[in-house]
Amino acid sequence: MTTLQETIRPSAQSREWKAIVILILLIPLLWSPPFLIRFFLFQPFNIPSSSMAPTLVVGDYVFAAKYAYGYSRYSFPYSPSWLSVRVFVAEPGYGDLVVFRSPKDTSVDYIKRVVGLPGDRIQMQLGQLILNDRAVTRVPLKDTPGGSVCGGDAGAKVKRWRETLPNGTSYVTYDCIDNGFYDNTNVYTVPPGHLFVLGDNRDNSSDSRAMKAMGFVPMDNLVGRVTRIFWSLNADGEPRFERLGKVQ
């Protein structure tokens, strides 16, 4: 058996030549513009849940700028686990929509909004975001039909708020129920090298408030920053052109 295996096994030199030939054949693909854009610049993602509604809804397709915060092993597919260095590092800003790998399960990508940077103190009081002991400005908006994002009838009304962070970033949040499970929390102090993230659909989002499920997000887990919706389909598979464009 041993002799037969040695007879049919390719020599080391043969294997090296095969590897070289394969690499040469792959060069056009590796240096093609679509591959370079996908690998280094922008990565597409689709939205499978309503945790970021109304900013992002089920059926949206978005681009994430991979260069926004630098590159780590989570920036590229099949990167080895021992690759721990992050290069071209940049820190997210308040209100950024970030794609990241869950600290509890690094095989899963999430999209949430950054509301806390290292050293910040975060708390929820009666559904209002408290940042460093100050209530974040929010203005009530007219209720809107959309109960499906809250798990109810589509025609049911949903409370909306326009929230504005200290750097001026402004966006709309949904408030499905009063005194929801995470509407009142303890004070969270964001550790160095980490972020605190929330979903815009505050009562239907697993985010940093759920310490056992997600908790603080390491910056090394960042994949990129969501920049725009490039395609969107409704439940019937019809395009929603009105949703295309930049997001905030």
Cα–Cα dist 84/61, whole Å = 29
Q: Is 112 a catalytic residue?
A: yes
Under 8 Å between Cβ of 28 and 213: no
H or E, element range at 100: strand 97-101
Sign of CA dihedral 111, 116, 118, 122: negative
Q: Is 212 a catalytic residue?
A: no
Rg (CA), the chain: 22
3-class secondary-structure state, position 63: strand
Among candidate residues 112, 159, 205, 232, the one labeled active-site is 112
Under 8 Å between Cβ of 172 and 161: yes
List active site positions. 51, 112
